[in-house]
Amino acid sequence: MNKLKKLLIISFSLIMAIIAAGCGKSESGKNNESNSQSGDKKSYDKVVYAYATFNNIPSSDVLETVQEEINKITREKINVEVELLPISIADYSSSVSLSLQGGEQIDLFESLGDYNTCVSSGMAYDITDLIDTCAAETKEVLGEDILAACVKDGRLYGIPTYKPYALTPMVIYKTEIADQLGIDMSQVKSAFDLTDVLRKVKEAYPDMIPLVPVQTGTSGLNLTVPDVDYLTDDYYSPKGVLMGDNMTVVDYYGTDEFAEICNLVRTWYNEGLILKDAATTTSTCTELMSSDNSFCYIASYSYPPEDTAASISAQVGNIPLGAVQIGEAYLDTTSINALTWMVSSNSKVPEAALKFLNLTFTDPDIINLLIYGIKDRDYVMDEEGYVSYPEGQDASSVPYTAQLSCGTLGNFFFMYPMTGTSKESLKWEEEQNKLAKKSPAMGFTFDSSEVKTEYTAVSNVIQQYLPGLLCGSVDPEVVIPEFRSKLSDAGLDTIIAAKQAQLDEWLKTK
């Protein structure tokens, strides 16, 4: 008995000791850090910059070298030290929101399509009063119009990434096949012109799937519907929308435009012109395009068609690709605030964080360090200022690169252009930003918190029906009416009414 008791006591104390040691370790680790910081002659505010990377996550010692380079600039300019926290795009949203809930330090993060959720759940710091003192240059660069997209109830909650906002719908196709069959793709002006092209391809290559989906559950046709303001909804799950200049919120699924694209893709499906499993496949369009039996896909890009084709071609094993525009770009609030940089509400150093954010919009060195890493190790630059990976290396083998995150970090227009793109395109893109048609409700964001219950139910119904409709695997004649009645059961009308009310309110204050 005594022996046993002793054993139990020992084992318990052992466990407690381990737990305590665990805690102690992290404690002492923290102390060291602060010591080393105060050990320096000056103390700097430490800012944690959490950004989403579409590339590989660099190893920690590599990351430190880049961080150090950035800190050399920030220490001098704004008296701040930065800790970089790259997070893989797949985990970004959940990982940031969990860290914030857990009280971990993240001072700057990006909204990733969730501007409203971030604001309404209180993750974002109100920077209205700070922007003039801490980020005046950024305000100048972006202009009031663009910043307006991040204003809610008169308060500013973030700064949108400065990049080409206007997404232009295009068809990306394989030039070899088009040439071979004598198809003149420049004649394709809209999605409806595509049918004949797809038929020709199918005739010549019966085993081929001419059109592949741009991503799971959409043929891309929804992107070609002109002049839709999604009023803060996800592009892939629209609820109430504005069409054109009419300020009445309408049910997207009741519009003729929606019925038309559904019928179009249904014809394609019946004739075998689109991937049969488009509604469920998890393969990306680049994967599908890399295979021999595909011809084209529909997507929206913010770069000029030639550039887009060139850069995608590099991702699909250098198959020559062409791109042709099949619609006009349209700007709504979401297209600007989808990628908003926010100071986290529990940041202890909001001023310092905003100052650093300001640098990512105004200091080319900082931006390029973040995107490309360190010169001559991670990239090389030619005389004309174009960059490429060092000899024999690519995006996956260089120690640090976040090249695919370009256009999500700070100011896109300050980035060094990659070899293969042209500086001309930058001009095209800046112009598109100015020329693109803008929604009459620009600056309006919808707060869904009062209709949360309906929102969840409606999202559910949409996920059930929309992919099938957008990929042609169900018959729109039968399914659209069923879909709409389910939507109204789920409370879509309530959402539309709430949207209309908020929109009217917004119009009054404008």
Partner 1 sequence: MKKVAGKKNRGLTKSGPLLLIALPGIIYIIINNYIPMFGVFLAFKDYNYVKGIFGSDWNGFDNFKYLFRHDALLIVRNTILYNLAFIIIGTIFSILVAILMCELGNRFRVKIFQSSLLLPNLLSWVVIGFIGFAFLNSDTGFINKTIIKFLGENEVAWYTNPKPWPIILLIVYLWKNVGYSSIIYMASIAGIDKSIFEAAKIDGANKIKQIRYITIPMLKPTVVILTLMAIGRIFYSDFGLFYQVPMNSGALYNVTQTIDTYVYHSLMELKDVGMSAAAALYQSIIGFILVVTANAVVRKVDKDNALF
- The DSSP line for 219-271 is -SGGGGSSSEE-TTS-TTS--EEEETT--S-EEGGGSHHHHHHHHHHHHHHHT
Q: Contacting partner 1 (CB under 8 A), which of 54, 65, 89, 97?
A: 97
Q: Contacting partner 1 (CB under 8 A), which of 473, 480, 498, 502?
A: 473
Q: 207-266: which residues touch partner 1 (CB under 8 A)? A: 209, 217, 234, 237
Burial of 226 (0-12, 13-18, 19+ CB in 10 A): middle
Q: Contacting partner 1 (CB under 8 A), which of 100, 228, 321, 495?
A: 100
Q: Contacting partner 1 (CB under 8 A), which of 23, 25, 88, 122?
A: 122
Contact 359, 77 (CB under 8 A): yes
Q: Contacting partner 1 (CB under 8 A), which of 158, 327, 443, 467?
A: 467
Using the rule CB under 8 A, give the single segment among 30-38, 114-122, 139-147, 392-400 that binds partner 1: 114-122
- Cβ neighbours of 500 (radius 10 Å): 16
Distant-in-sequence, close-in-space partners of 417: CB < 8 Å, separation ≥ 6: 385, 386, 387, 423, 425, 426
Using the rule CB under 8 A, give the single segment among 37-45, 113-121, 321-329, 395-403 that binds partner 1: 113-121
43 makes contact with partner 1 (CB under 8 A): no
Return the number of the residue (467 or 476) whose C-beta is nearest partner 1: 467
Q: Which DSSP symbol is given to 417?
A: P
Residue (of 118, 40, 117, 10) closest to 346 by Cα position: 118
Residue (of 252, 129, 164) closest to 499 by Cα position: 252
Return the number of the residue (46 or 239) whose C-beta is nearest partner 1: 239
123 makes contact with partner 1 (CB under 8 A): yes
Q: Contacting partner 1 (CB under 8 A), which of 423, 464, 481, 501?
A: 464
Using the rule CB under 8 A, give the single segment among 255-263, 363-371, 379-387, 453-461 that binds partner 1: 453-461
Give Cα 65 to chain centroid, integer Å.
27
Q: ∠ CA 330-468-197 to the nearest 5 degrees?
A: 65
Question: Cβ of residue 453: shortest distance to partner 1, in angstroms?
Answer: 4
Per-residue contact track with partner 1, 292 to 331, x per CB under 8 A? ----------------------------------------
Q: Rounded to whole angstroms, how far apart are CA atoms 64 and 238?
A: 42
Helices marked H in 345-422: 350-362, 364-372
Q: Which DSSP symbol is given to 303?
A: S
User: Which residues make up the interface to partner 1 (CB under 8 A)?
Assistant: 1, 4, 7-8, 11, 15, 93-94, 97, 100-101, 114, 117, 121-123, 209, 217, 234, 237, 275-277, 279-282, 345-346, 448, 452-453, 455-457, 459-460, 463-468, 473-474, 486, 489-491
